[in-house]
Structure 1
Amino acid sequence: MRTKIWVAAICLLLVFYLVVLVQRSVLLLTDANPVAKALGAALIVLPPIGAWAMLRELFFGVRMEKLASILEKEGGLPVDDLPRTPGGRIVREAADAEFLKYQREAEAAPEDWRSWFRLSCAYDAAGDRKRARSSMRDAIRLYRSAPAVG
């Protein structure tokens, strides 16, 4: 719940920033100076991009949470029992060894969103955030394209 509160607070701050940016852009556009008008025109593009990025990340998080909830109910979430350093980081060698298990699972069942979800968790544990997000996007895509059950 704390995470959701922080996400909401950050989103509110971003929305406030975007509103202020729009206001400043409009002020610059109404200025008589052509340089100010050009700057205002350039700045007016940023708020829609920022809003799109924020919404994209929020939808990603909601969809990821939904898949995690389904896997939790099925008992299919990976167990977080990897050894950690005194600082709390996962021991890289242990994460790499565990990763191979989930990589094989995803290769054996490439159309199963569950295997891609678990592979994403393994990438994250191994510290590869870029591939973790890519695998999670694959899991979400596969889940959304699967025929509805029931």
Structure 2
Amino acid sequence: MSADQAKDNAKVLRTLGLIGFLLVAIVLYFGILGFFAIQFIQAGGVAPTAMGIGVLMLIPLGAWIIWASLRAAFAHQHLARRMHDEGRELDTSHLERRPSGRVTREAADGLFAQVKQEWEADPDNWRSSYRLAKAYDIAGDRSRAREAMKRAVALEKLESQEN
């Protein structure tokens, strides 16, 4: 194992450890929410009971949000790993940057135009959708980046099922 791989593995383990810690903290938080919700309901009366039910509803809502976020994050990481392994990552090292480190608007627009042409040539390929999502992200269009990434995840899943 090379030094770079060892560094990457250590970074992954730290990230997974942080995710695990946060999940434990959230489960404890959900337990506290449940306790308070039950206290409200047991207090009786219309307002406390309604508050208790409302607080109780936050638990499954929060669990669903966490599950959906983690599922998306792991799917995006899977695609990023595949793109890296295939050598198809979006290279931004040559792009002009601001003092803050962000890519300038002109450079991002140029990169986006190039990647969009690639995507238009092959819109049903998850790799081109992934690259389009990254280009949208670099250009600062987060909502379109999310949509393109969802498309990339769906197309990759479809490709995996076919193979």
State the aligned residue count.
149
1:123–1:3 distance in 2 versus 1, CA, 3 Å: farther
Question: Given the alignment of the two structures, is residue 17 of structure 1 paired with residue 63 of structure 2, yes or no?
Answer: no
Task: Tell me the amino acid that sits aligned with residue 22 of structure 1.
Answer: G
TM-score (ref. length: structure 2):
0.84
Q: Which residue of 1 is the match for residue 64 of structure 2?
A: 52
Alpha-carbon displacement from aligned partner over 1:6-45 (angstroms, at most 9, x marks no partner): 4444444333322221221111111123211111011111
Question: Given the alignment of the two structures, is residue 69 of structure 1 paired with residue 91 of structure 2, yes or no?
Answer: no
Alpha-carbon displacement from aligned partner over 1:52-101 (angstroms, at most 9, x marks no partner): 01110101011111111111111111112122111111111101110011
Whole-angstrom distance in 1 between the partners of 2:41 and 2:57: 12
Q: Which has more helix, going by share of residues?
A: 2
Q: Which residue of 2 is the match for residue 31 of structure 1?
A: 43
Q: Which residue of 2 is the match for residue 133 of structure 1?
A: 146
RMSD (Å), alpha carbons:
1.6
1:6–1:92 distance in 2 versus 1, CA, 3 Å: farther
TM-score (ref. length: structure 1):
0.90
Q: Which residue of 1 is the match for residue 3 of structure 2?
A: none
Q: For structure 1, list consecutive stretches of 5 or more residues without a partner in the other structure.
A: none
Q: For structure 2, list consecutive stretches of 5 or more residues without a partner in the other structure.
A: 1-10
Whole-angstrom distance in 2 between the partners of 1:3 and 1:83: 30
Q: Which residue of 1 is the match for residue 134 of structure 2?
A: 121
SS at match of 2:71: helix
Identical positions, percent: 34
Whole-angstrom distance in 1 between the partners of 2:18 and 2:101: 22
1:86-105 matches, cutoff 5 A: 86-105=99-118
Whole-angstrom distance in 2 between the partners of 1:77 and 1:25: 48
